[in-house]
Structures are given as C-alpha cells and as structure tokens.
Amino acid sequence: MARRPRDYQLEAARWALERGRAVVCMPTGTGKTLVAALWIRGLLEAGRARRVLVLEPTRFLVEQVARFLREEGLDAAPVHGSLPRGLRAENARRARVVVATPEIVAAEMELFSRLGFDAVVVDECHHTTGQDAYRVVLESLPFRWRLGLTAYVPPSRRATIEDDIGEIRCWSWSDPRLARYIPEWAAEIYEAPFNEAEERLYRLIERRWEEAGGERGARTLLGNALRWLARDGALALRETVERSEKLRRLLEGEPLELLYSPGVRPLHKLEALERALRDHEGFRKAIVFVERVAVAERIAERFPWLEPVLVLGRRRVDPREALERARRRETRLIVATSAGEEGIDLPEADLLVVWSNVASPLRFIQRLGRMLRATPEARGAGPRTAVFLVTPETVDVDSLVDALLEARRAGVHVPVEPGTVEYLWTLSRRRRFLEALEERPMPLDLLARAVGAPREKTEEAVRWLLERGLAVYIYHPALGRVYAAASALERLRRLHPEAFRPDPGVRLTWTLYVDGRRVRSVRDVDRARAEARLRAEMERLGWLSRLQASGTVEAGRGLLRFARLSYSFRVDSLDKLRLVLDNAYTREVLLSPVR
C-alpha cells in the first residue's frame, strides 16, 4: 500500500526531478526512501528513464528497500551476493527497478551494462561516494539521471559528491515540517575488519579455546583473549600476556609468535575511528569509550589536533583537572575508560564512539546516557550520533547484538538505520545457527548441541531468523518442530517425507496475521481451496507473519480430535505457503501428541 507523502518529501522529489542530477540531504528518520520512490516513479511514468538501479550498502538494506519500493507500486527486485547466481540474473533482467549492492554490480558489470540502466539512486552517499565499488559502477554505467540520499554531507567530501552525483540541497533538522520525525540521536555501525594476519591469530586462539574442552580455567582465559583481541585490539592482548604467565603458556607457539609479528596491528579499529571522526567532521565534542588505559593513551596520541583529554579513573589522572579540561570549548575529544561511564559527570557530546562493545545492558545504557540526558541547550544544537566500532565475525559482534537486544527489552530505543541489526547478524558468529540449518534441518535441542550454544541463546537466535523469513519450521509426527533454513525447503521435504502427506479429506480453518495483527480468517477449507484463498491474501498483503490452522480431525473408531497448529514465521513466498499447507493437512501431524 502506497504511503501518503509529506509536503517536504514531495518538494524534494520535484526539486530532484527538475535537476536530473541531485543529492537530497535530510536527517535520519524523515523518509528519504519515499523521496527516492517518488523520484523513480516520476522518471518512469514520464518516460524519461527505462530502468533504474538503486545502490544500497548492505544486502539487508537491498531486501528492505526492494520490499518498500514494491509496496509503493514499483516493479522492484533485489540483487545481492546471497542470492543464487541464476536468480540474481533473472531479477536484474526482469525488474524495471533493481536494488543491489555496488559490489555485486561491479562484479557482474558485463550483465548490468547490457540491461540499459539510465538512472541511479545512491543511498548513504556520504559514506560511499569515492569507494572502489561505487566508483566503478558510477563510472562504468551511463546514468543520465542521478539521485543521492544522505543524512549529512561532510564538508571535505562535498565537491566529490557533487562531481559524482549532482547538486546538493539540504532540508534542515530545524525545519518544523521535519522536526517531529527526527529522533534525538542516531546510531551507526562502522566495521573494523581484521587483516589476514589478525584473522589467522583470532582463528588459532579460537581453535585452542575449542580444544580446551572441560578445562574451565583455560577455556575462560582463552575466551577472554578472543574478546580482548576483537574488542580492544592486539595491544590489549599483548598487555595481558605480559602480566599473565598462564595465558602466555596457553598461547605458546604460533599464536604467540603471530601476536608479536609486524603484520598484526596494535589497534585494528584505529582506521575505523579515523573514518568515523572524518565522516562526522562537524562534531563539537566527541567521547570515545574504551576498556584499556593503554588503548586510550594510544588514541589520544593519534589525534593531538582535537586537544584530547583522558578520563581514566582517580589513580591515573586527577579527575577534577581532567573534567575541567574536558569542558573547555577547544577540547573536542574525550577518551574515557569505564571510569567515565558512571560516577563522573562527563560533558555532553554530540558524537559518542564506542570502541569496546560490552554486552552488559547497564553499561550500554549508561554510555548512551551521555546523549539521552542532554540539556535543552544541547538539544537545540541539532541531532547527535552514536557510532559503534565492530570487528566482523567475532565475539565483538555478539556483544553488540546482545546489548542492542537487551536495551530494546529495557525500553531504550536505539535508532539504528533499518536493517542494521539484521546486517550485524551476517557479521556475527551467530550466523552459524543459520549455516547449521542450511546444512541439515533439525529440532531445537539438536541445533543447540550442533552449534554448542545454550538453549536460551538458540531459541533467541531461531526466533530472530523466523521473524525475518530466514528460517522456517514444520511439525513432525515424532520429532515435534523441525527447523530449517528458508533456502533448504527441498532438503526438509526430502529428509522428512512423512511430514508432507496432505489428506484431501481434511478441512481446516486458517487465521492470518501480519505483524501480530489478525487480518483474515478462511473457514473450513480443504487443501486445494486453502492454497487458492491464502495465495490471494498473500498477493494482497505481500507477506504473512503467522498462520494458524485449526480443525476437527477423525482419529479412527468414530473418535474426533480437535487440532491446532501455529506457523509463526514470515511466509513471503509460494514455496513457503505450500510447505505450510502440505504439513498442516497431513493427518499424522494433526493427530500427533508431539508439538
């Protein structure tokens, strides 16, 4: 269902259409994607463009924006590296609007150059303009019409953005038409990946952690080593090794040699921090939270022109003197250890950078409190930003995901960009849950054992996958619920044919839900009529978040049994719908006491 555009969104779309090559700068939360939809529709309906390419930085944003554009009535399809090559090519050829990552377009340039794209939307252009994949796409394809979307234009990149895309116009956060839609602060994720040597070091320590088995002290220490390396950097791990003879023994051999090798950077997150400060170069005062004093000191040394102040606790610095210096106008950078999270009244900042991610919801919320408690004067100075530096595919991502979820449960809204938490999961060790389900469908207890995770964490991970349509489950007559990756539906059918024997004599009533809201009931229908009716509803609604089946089933000898099945996962394709129906209309499943 198309959304009703606000007046400033219409204004922005018309202005961009008049210019042909333009950049719309609007604060986070004000609906830039709808501006893009209006711009695209205007080009297509006027015949000014035949096909439009939309560039998004992550695959989850690709999926989300493609869905958004379809809801706006546009023929949009996603293209990213997680889709099979054949489906990518089919989507790219079929749709008039293709939403893709720049990396996949650059990698398959021969295909895209034949498809006749004459318009492009570059989302998040303040982060991406000038990067290799984006530059390849913008220079290789003959886009006549260009639209950039951004929440902020760094002064040092303004000329590059204008050259690559077009004229920039900003709608101010202080505009009363926009102000009520703008969150008090926004959150962003910056990746700080390991290089090859650091990645090898991490995997070697991880292998020793796995081999430690039941040796609790060693396993705990090696687990901490993984966290120190990924969260804080090799400098922190070296410091601990020099103080702990036991850890030195546990890392003897290649891990220890690699830790002190020239290829391992002392602080692998330093480049990401530099990028974050550069991207938000107009900030007035920034606070960087770290766990280690040595890390804090090295960061302060790296940015002398920001007049940095260290807040390290009473034993390290005089807190009164440090706080007096921190409040000075010329001090633009404060680097604080945990001493700065509570008990010390740090100045308010418009940029908060979390170097060391912690899973503790209390500490997470305390850090965010540096922004959430801002005075009226600070609020009047404009939107504020929290940046989280994260090392992909390590425990560092797990800590951040845990903190975001716990903050949400505690009622603290963290306004990350759409798709951010989803994207973090692809960088997390928790993607192993999905990988395990792709390899073999299984019940929850087996999945927990296969991954080596507690049942509670397994349930949380599976719930997350189900809600986003990445996993499904069926009812098995003997095993209860069996879970599978959404990409492994055929494997699920092949392994458990006894759960897919629909009986044409069974009649069920179906209740349909979208986002927890009941939208329709389809009463007393057989398998064939159920598919026709439910398929029509899916085409109307786009997708379903839950399907509930109920009915009375003959159990033999004249006995009747009432059965109810609930499928609480995103049903967004005909294959998933047929999987549910074939499972639910199986008499053995309906009569089974195992749920």
> Is residue 154 one of the residues assigned to a domain?
yes
At residue 270, does pLDDT exceed 90? yes
Q: Are residues 55 and 192 in the same domain?
A: no
Q: Which of 353, 368, 386 is the last residue of a domain?
A: 386
What is the spatial distance between Cα 586 and Cα 578, in angstroms, rounded to a whole number? 12
At residue 11, does pLDDT exceed 70? yes
> Is residue 399 one of the residues assigned to a domain?
no
pLDDT at position 370: 56
pLDDT at position 320: 74
pLDDT at position 349: 81
Return the percentage of the chain with pLDDT > 90, whole number: 51
Q: Are residues 374 and 228 in the same domain?
A: yes
340 band by pLDDT with thresholds 50, 70 and 90: low
Q: Are residues 218 and 125 in the same domain?
A: no
275: Cα separation from own chain's centroid:
20
Tell me the average pLDDT of the chain: 86
pLDDT at position 504: 92
Sign of CA pseudo-dihedral 402, 405, 411, 415: positive
Tokens of 330: 């010329």
What is the spatial distance between Cα 306 and Cα 287, in angstroms, rounded to a whole number? 11
Query: How many structural domains is the chain composed of?
Result: 3
| Interval 89-147: pLDDT, tens | 899 999 999 999 898 999 999 999 999 999 999 998 876 655 678 888 988 898 999 99
> Is residue 457 one of the residues assigned to a domain?
no
Residue 275: count of CB within 10 angstroms of its CB: 16
pLDDT at position 376: 43
| Interval 181-215: pLDDT, tens | 776 777 788 889 999 999 999 999 988 887 886 66
22 band by pLDDT with thresholds 50, 70 and 90: very high
At residue 321, does pLDDT exceed 90? no
pLDDT at position 358: 80
Structural domain boundaries enclosing 20: 7-182
At residue 265, does pLDDT exceed 90? yes
**Across 545-556, average pLDDT:** 90
> Is residue 52 one of the residues assigned to a domain?
yes
Q: Are residues 172 and 26 in the same domain?
A: yes
Q: Are residues 205 and 327 in the same domain?
A: yes
DSSP annotation of 3 reads P
Tokens of 298: 């090295």
What is the spatial distance between Cα 92 and Cα 88, in angstroms, rounded to a whole number? 6
| Interval 81-91: pLDDT, tens | 777 788 888 99
DSSP three-state, residue 108:
coil
> Is residue 437 one of the residues assigned to a domain?
no
Nearest to 391 by CA among 256, 211, 236, 284: 236
408 band by pLDDT with thresholds 50, 70 and 90: low
Q: How many residues appear in the chain?
A: 595
Burial 541-578 (b: 16+ CB within 10 A, else e): eeebbbbbbbbebeeeeeeeeebebebebbbbeeebbb
Residue type, 551: G
Alpha helix stretches (DSSP H) within 245-336? 245-250, 254-259, 270-279, 293-302, 319-326
pLDDT at position 377: 46
pLDDT at position 381: 53
> Is residue 229 one of the residues assigned to a domain?
yes
| Interval 455-464: pLDDT, tens | 877 898 899 8
| pTM of the shown model | 0.66
DSSP three-state, residue 350:
coil
**Across 24-30, average pLDDT:** 84
**Across 205-234, average pLDDT:** 87
Q: Are residues 243 and 168 in the same domain?
A: no
Q: Which of 120, 152, 182 is the last residue of a domain?
A: 182
Which of 37-46, 170-179, 190-199, 487-496 has the weakest average pLDDT?
170-179
Q: Are residues 159 and 263 in the same domain?
A: no
Are 471 and 483 in contact by the 8 Å Cβ rule? The answer is yes
Are 390 and 191 in contact by the 8 Å Cβ rule? The answer is yes
pLDDT at position 357: 86
At residue 290, does pLDDT exceed 70? yes
At residue 343, does pLDDT exceed 60? no
What is the spatial distance between Cα 416 and Cα 402, in angstroms, rounded to a whole number? 14
Q: Are residues 230 and 266 in the same domain?
A: yes
**Across 38-55, average pLDDT:** 95
> Is residue 1 one of the residues assigned to a domain?
no
| Interval 458-487: pLDDT, tens | 898 899 889 878 899 999 999 999 999 988
**Across 365-370, average pLDDT:** 63
> Is residue 493 one of the residues assigned to a domain?
no
Q: What is the CATH number of the domain that holds 300?
A: 3.40.50.300
Residue type, 549: A
Q: Are residues 208 and 154 in the same domain?
A: no
Are 336 and 361 in contact by the 8 Å Cβ rule? The answer is no
**Across 574-586, average pLDDT:** 96
Q: Which of 182, 206, 228 is the last residue of a domain?
A: 182
Are 188 and 388 in contact by the 8 Å Cβ rule? The answer is yes
At residue 53, does pLDDT exceed 50? yes
Q: Are residues 223 and 369 in the same domain?
A: yes
Q: Are residues 371 and 253 in the same domain?
A: yes
Tokens of 538: 């899916």
CA distances from 496 to 39, 433, 472, 492, 579 (A): 48, 20, 14, 6, 12
Alpha helix stretches (DSSP H) within 480-573? 489-495, 527-541
Q: What is the dihedral of CA 348, 288, 59, 73, to 10 degrees?
A: 10
Are 513 and 531 in contact by the 8 Å Cβ rule? The answer is no
492 band by pLDDT with thresholds 50, 70 and 90: very high
482 vs 435 pLDDT, higher one: 482
Alpha helix stretches (DSSP H) within 251-318? 254-259, 270-279, 293-302
338 vs 463 pLDDT, higher one: 463
Q: Is 440 exposed, middle or buried (CB count within 10 Å of its CB: 0-12, 13-18, 19+)?
A: middle
Q: Are residues 247 and 142 in the same domain?
A: no
